Amino acid sequence: MTQNIRYAFILAAAVLMTSCGGYSSPTTPSSGNNDGTPVTIVAGAERLTTTAYSPNPLTISAGTMVTWTNRDSTTHSATSDSGAFSGNVAPNGQYSFTFQNKGTFTYHCSFHPNMVASVIVQ
């Protein structure tokens, strides 16, 4: 009986350790779907930096539409650092942009400049 409890504890600890990581690896290239490849603006985003947009970074193929959805309670934006795109996203709202050119596009929230992310277009 004691060994079963020990085994259950070790298994639970292993599951918790693998699901609570803080590292966000780059995504594999996506060609999206009719609604666009999703990026979520997470709740409490204005207090965050590189984790305010999820996933970050996002890797896609040229010609892919990305759709940002705001799951926070305040308006945010997806504003390209280079001026390639910019859209305000109200709470529960969406903004979409199709990336035609290859490259790395860094962006931020114009209301909360600490919120930063990038889209890698292959």
More confident residue, 76 or 27: 76
Strand pairing of 53-54 and 37-41?
antiparallel
* Nearest-angstrom CA–CA distance, 4 and 102: 54
Q: Higher pLDDT residue, 18 or 1?
A: 1
Domain total for the chain?
A: 1
| Within-domain flag for 10 | no
Q: Is residue 48 part of a domain?
A: yes
Residue 101 located in a structural domain: yes
Q: Is residue 13 part of a domain?
A: no
Q: What is the pLDDT of residue 35?
A: 73
Q: Is the pLDDT assigned to residue 113 strictly greater than 80?
A: yes
* CB of 120 closer than 8 Å to CB of 59: yes
Integer-rounded Cα Rg, in Å, for the chain is 18
pLDDT higher than 50, residue 105: yes
* Domain presence at residue 16: no
Q: Please tell me the predicted confidence (pLDDT) of residue 43.
A: 98
With a cut of 70, say whether residue 51 has pLDDT above it.
Answer: yes
Note whether residue 51 is domain-resident: yes
pLDDT digits (tens, 9 = 90+) for 55-97: 999 999 999 999 999 999 999 999 999 999 999 999 999 999 9
| pLDDT for the residue numbered 30 | 42
Cβ(52)–Cβ(41) below 8 Å: yes
The verdict on residue 111 lying in a domain is yes
- The mean per-residue pLDDT over the stretch 101-112 comes to 98
User: What range defines the domain where residue 63 resides?
Assistant: 25-121
- The CATH number for 86's domain is 2.60.40.420
